[in-house]
Structure 1
Amino acid sequence: MTTAVGGGVLRDMLAGEIPTLLYDRQLYAVPAMLGSAAMAAFFELGLHGWPAVLASAVLAFGLRILAMKYGWRAPLASGVTPSE
């Protein structure tokens, strides 16, 4: 999750832009977090190796693609007004 989110923030900073994570409500971190949680669950269940890694990666990638396709957005914190 840190690599997925941090990489995007670093990319934006090196490009001289405001990090997308700070102003856009697209789902970046949530799919990465769910993929990480799935990998942790597989590990706890004794499922190790490439099948667990592949399943976790497909879950995270699939959620991100679905979020982009259907325009899913993260909720705003209470008291924050949308900038759109």
Structure 2
Amino acid sequence: MLTFKQSILLITLFTTLGAFVGGSKVAYTVGGTIIPVHNMEYLSIVLFSSALAVTFASLKALPISTTQSVIGAIIGVGIARGS
């Protein structure tokens, strides 16, 4: 069984490794393939919907990840526009 400190070290190691190995591919897919980054309408919808989700969850004292809410909003906009 891992101690708390060992768990944190493993999480840090694999998160950093994942960012270096596949981070640019993920950033390209999210930022260029799902929705066009130059379209301010899409970006405004993403920001508004993720802010709404974070605010609602915070008011209800529910745990929420800001990163996951933004990625979810990007995917939602991508689905709505048919990407």
TM-score range, shorter chain: 0.3 to 0.5
The TM-score with structure 2 as length reference comes to: 0.40
